Amino acid sequence: MAERVLMNEYKTLSKEPWTNIQLIDDDIYRWSIALIVLNPDSLYYRGYFRAIMNFPKNYPYSPPDFRFTRPLYHPNVYPDGRLCISILHAPGEDEMSGELAAERWSPAQRVESVLISILSLLDDAEVSSPANVDAGVMLRKNPEEYKERVKADLEASKRDIPEGYVMPSHDDAFKTKQEEEILMSWEDSDEEDDFGGSDSDEDMPFDEDEDEDTEGDQEEAEEHH
């Protein structure tokens, strides 16, 4: 089951402009990922942040492991590149951390939801219990200096862009979203055609006998008058 689920997710995410994904040694349980920030309002805009994801054999019942290969200076990123983020924590409620079960991993989660949560975390850091205390303090007390560290990480990330790879833009992401919505509308339209069709005159059956009967009734009424 895990291989089938992962292959479907891999194929879906491979079409997204904000990720660049490859299998490591053709192993479906090991992914090389680049997160590409396409939000122009983000401090990390146009960054190319490489990471490794390893999946357990019982996926999706247990969460994957995620690690940036080039660690970021961020309150929620450990020095080894791993993240402190609820969605990657094992299922169930944790009284020690105060995390609710709904905030942690569940079999309903998917790789896409993990990656989107990580992208959101970059600009919306949780500083109450930071993995990198120094980064958390800097963000709170000296945000301008923190932004300079982010810029340094952003520029460093661009060194990992593969040769010949064309970086997508915000417009590419918007275009992809529009194409998905159009495709969905087409699929919905096809379903309506299959289960009821149109109410237009072209699609309505024409009963010649009924029409002739109506004309006969009209002629008879005229004779009486």
Instruction: List the catalytic residues.
Output: 84
* Tally of CA atoms within 13 A in the half-sphere of 18 that contains its CB: 19
User: For the chain, what is the largest distance between any 2 Cα atoms, rounded to a whole number of angstroms?
Assistant: 102
Q: DSSP strand E in the chain: where?
A: 19-24, 27-36, 48-54, 65-68
Is it true that the peptide bond before 60 is cis, omega within 30 degrees of 0?
yes
Buried b / exposed e over 199-210, threshold 16 CB at 10 Å, is eeeeeeeeeeee
d(CA 83, CA 131): 8
DSSP state of 82: B
Q: Where are the alpha helices (DSSP H) in 14-110?
A: none
d(CA 16, CA 172): 10
- 8 Å CB contact between 105 and 89: yes
